Structure 1
Amino acid sequence: MNHTLVQSDDIWILWAFLAGWAAISIYLEQNFKWASKVSGAIIALVGAMLLANLQIIPLESPAYDTVWNYVVPLAIPLLLFKANIKKIWNESGRLLLIFFLSAAGTVTGSIIGFFLLRKLVPGLDKVGAMMTGSYIGGGVNFAALSTKFEAPGELVSSAVVADNLMMALYFFVLMTIPAIRFFSKNFRTPYSVKQRNNEKDTNETEAASYWGRKEMSLQDIGLAVGTAFAIVAASFFIAGWLDNLIPSGDEVNFFFNFLNGLLGDNYLMLTTLTMITVTVFPKYFESIQGAQEIGTYLIYIFFVVIGIPASIMLIFQNAPLLLVFVFIVVLSNMLMSFLLGKVFNFSLEEVIVASNANIGGPTTAAAMAIAKGWTKLVIPILLVGTLGYIVGNYIGTGIGVWFSSF
């Protein structure tokens, strides 16, 4: 069935591509201004999409399954090592508010889209859950919720294509908004002013400047990776134990089903346990250098993988209305972000990174802030965006359970 240059069982070749293209995307982002403006995440995603559609690499492979099953769970705690809830509130309270206002736009769009299209799109309850979680915390939540709700592979592939096309388009829109006079006239732009005042005559991109060399020891790498493995193992064990302990199914009531879905889910337990551990032992996690870099690289591999099953013909043949659904969700997020951002007097830059963090996650939001030179927003949006991993999973789960009742 696979008429591709590289076959699905060419595991080492595919892994060389996954790891190599992720590395090339990072290199391009940090060494070329055009790539920095586009962001490495989009380069990783679009590059894989092109190779898959040109039938150079297969749409399915055990190598990709390894990324979903092992790389993504390992990346989550590494990216959450700085997600101390107390610190997020103290340092990023203002940005947290616009993030949640933007998330409300995602939920509103998902509900509107579901009730408009549910009779026309089979499995839209599962897609609604996946896209709600994805458009509050990014692609990591998409992976978690597609596994949780056991969405069929073809539905996931179609949803990935719709998601990726819309996400890439929206990122380009967000990139161009600061240059549009209407927005610069109606919103404060303090970070853009600071950038213009501090511009240097240098060939170094903002991404290269932010992700510059940092002091990191073998001990840091060992503690970061070892701790991440331990948290994943403990989380999945506890979730499995609670899944068996708490009754679920058609014969039990809604409360127990909801409780089972909440406490017996691997990814919800992983994000929750990481958050609790980081908040209880802040000094230990803050002392570990390099966790953000390792986790970000793993997420770049994930960005490559989610671009691979994006067969453009598949979406137009099987589920063109999924494009309409994700368009409604993204449009709702954008409108509510900018309208409420204006009402509550948020700056244009704050609204843009908050909406980006919802749709693409903290990695793409930080990449955009870095590319635009809004360096003072990078750490706050990373902190707030990582909270989206947790919040998005919970909200996506709730939406999925509700939608499935219709």
Structure 2
Amino acid sequence: MADSIFILFVLCLNVIICEWLIKKPGFRHIGTALLVIIVTAIEANLRIISATETPVYEGIFSYLAPFSLFLLLLSVNLKDLRQAGLPMLTMFLIGSAGTLIGVFISVWAFSAPQTVGKLFYALAGMFAGTYIGGSINYHAVALHYNISKAGNLFVAATAADNIMTALWMVVTILFPPMLQRRYPRLINAHKPAGAPTTANAMVDDPFADSETINPNDLASLLALGFGAIFLSKMLAGFIPAIPFVLILTTIALALAQFRFINKLRGSRLIGLFGVYIFLAVIGAYCDVAALIRDGQLAFILFGMILLMVFIHAVILFGVGALLRQDWAVLAIASQANIGGGTSALALAKSLNRPDLQLPAVLVGTLGNAIGTYLGIFVAEALK
């Protein structure tokens, strides 16, 4: 069915269903993002909703997706990075360099132009963005290169990425204690100067999915988002060499440096919901029969990702070993690259390192700040 109101009803209902499902055993490790793509893809292939472009889908791609990405970036205040500490920041940036090297090598090793297809460069940019920053950057690069409308390719890439992220969490949990036993390092577990207490940090956790907002917060976020999109489109028209998504990212980061904007409640909540609706539309474009027929693509993409992450790890842990860095710092910096700030925070908790919880979140936000720029740089270099 192509009725716009009915489609919006189904897309919102899918988010409710997926949020409920991830609380059940067997689904919680899939995550809402991938699950909402799968559920909507099934509905579209059963012709419950339209599987082709409609005005509501176009509106979501043109306005809701960039608006949501803008809101998610408002939590990135770069002034907080001094609290992460020099070792964590240094290792994170080395890990980011390792990711970039890994992306270029994997594209060459797997002959990506032939095995992946003509959009290989955009996928490489997406992987660079997400393995330096996170899902915000992954979706921003995908939106810029219209990978979002190549449903099958996007789903295969997302599935491979999710598997790798889960595997890397296991690796980074196991590695630090093993390496510490074999090659002991002095653990300097202290709270970085000027850092708030863990309790306070968790109150202001930028990764919380629930917030209490008031009409002023909501109106401020809507005004900022609509104004930023309007300004970005205007500037992109005047300076066509600079992509719209990079202009919007820059405006969001500039605004996020003002505390009264950075602290507006609801940016994470509304942004996350918008991204889920955006992902649901990607699912609607997915042809399940074609995806099954071309299933080998997911294996190729997973092989590329595996090589990227292996090279990233060799460089990060190799340099870190030479500098005699704390193994937990290396693992958390790596997890902040590969999995993002949320999983880096979870890893710090799993390793029983409360002193590294705040630095984990902060370097994750640095990744969000630079990931889209570097992702588009990689894609353009390979184009």
TM-score (norm 2): 0.74
Alpha carbons of structure 1 residues 320 and 111: separation in structure 2 relative to 1, 3 Å: same
Give the counterpart of 1:43 among 13, 31, 43.
Answer: 31
1:105 & 1:88 partners in 2: Cα distance?
21
The one-letter amino acid of 2:130's match is S
Paired residues for 1:180-329 under 5 Å: 182-185=178-181, 186=183, 188=185, 216=212, 218=214, 222-223=216-217, 225-246=218-239, 260-261=241-242, 265-279=243-257, 281-282=258-259, 284-285=260-261, 287-296=263-272, 309=286, 313=292, 315-318=294-297, 320-329=299-308
The one-letter amino acid of 1:343's match is L
Q: Does 1:161 align with 2:137?
A: no
Q: Which residue of 2 aligns with 1:365?
A: 344
Q: Which residue of 1 aligns with 2:10?
A: 13
State the shift of 1:330 in Å: 2.2
Partner of 2:11: helix, strand, or coil? helix
CA contact (8 A) 1:18 1:305 kept: no
1:310 & 1:132 partners in 2: Cα distance?
26
Q: Does 1:402 align with 2:378?
A: no
2:347 & 2:278 partners in 1: Cα distance?
18
Q: Which residue of 2 aligns with 1:393?
A: 372
RMSD of aligned alpha carbons: 4.2
State the shift of 1:376 in Å: 4.1
The one-letter amino acid of 2:315's match is M
Partner of 2:114: helix, strand, or coil? coil
2:331 & 2:64 partners in 1: Cα distance?
29
Partner of 1:83: helix, strand, or coil? coil
Deviations along 1:187-237, whole A, 9 cap, x unmatched?
Answer: 65959999xxxxxxxxxxxx99x7889984525xx32x3333333323322
Q: Which residue of 2 aligns with 1:110?
A: 103
Q: Does 1:178 align with 2:173?
A: yes
Structure 2 segments unaligned to the other structure (5+ residues): 192-201
2:267 & 2:21 partners in 1: Cα distance?
20
State the shift of 1:399 in Å: 1.5
Q: Does 1:355 align with 2:353?
A: no
Alpha carbons of structure 1 residues 68 and 89: separation in structure 2 relative to 1, 3 Å: farther
State the shift of 1:304 in Å: 6.9
Partner of 1:328: helix, strand, or coil? helix
Alpha carbons of structure 1 residues 136 and 373: separation in structure 2 relative to 1, 3 Å: same
State the shift of 1:377 in Å: 3.5
1:212 & 1:393 partners in 2: Cα distance?
22
State the shift of 1:387 in Å: 2.5
The one-letter amino acid of 2:167's match is F
The one-letter amino acid of 1:16's match is L
The one-letter amino acid of 1:43's match is G
2:170 & 2:324 partners in 1: Cα distance?
21
CA contact (8 A) 1:125 1:403 kept: yes
Structure 1 segments unaligned to the other structure (5+ residues): 3-7, 195-206, 249-259
2:184 & 2:159 partners in 1: Cα distance?
29
The one-letter amino acid of 1:285's match is I
1:97 & 1:216 partners in 2: Cα distance?
36
Partner of 1:137: helix, strand, or coil? coil
The one-letter amino acid of 2:250's match is T
Deviations along 1:88-119, whole A, 9 cap, x unmatched?
Answer: 23445432222211111111011112223145
1:268 & 1:89 partners in 2: Cα distance?
25
Q: Which residue of 1 aligns with 2:114?
A: 120
TM-score (norm 1): 0.70
The one-letter amino acid of 2:98's match is G
Alpha carbons of structure 1 residues 147 and 51: separation in structure 2 relative to 1, 3 Å: closer
Partner of 1:136: helix, strand, or coil? coil
Alpha carbons of structure 1 residues 183 and 304: separation in structure 2 relative to 1, 3 Å: farther
1:187 & 1:35 partners in 2: Cα distance?
38
Q: How many residues align?
A: 356
Q: Which residue of 2 aligns with 1:22?
A: 19
State the shift of 1:403 in Å: 0.9
Q: Does 1:89 align with 2:82?
A: yes
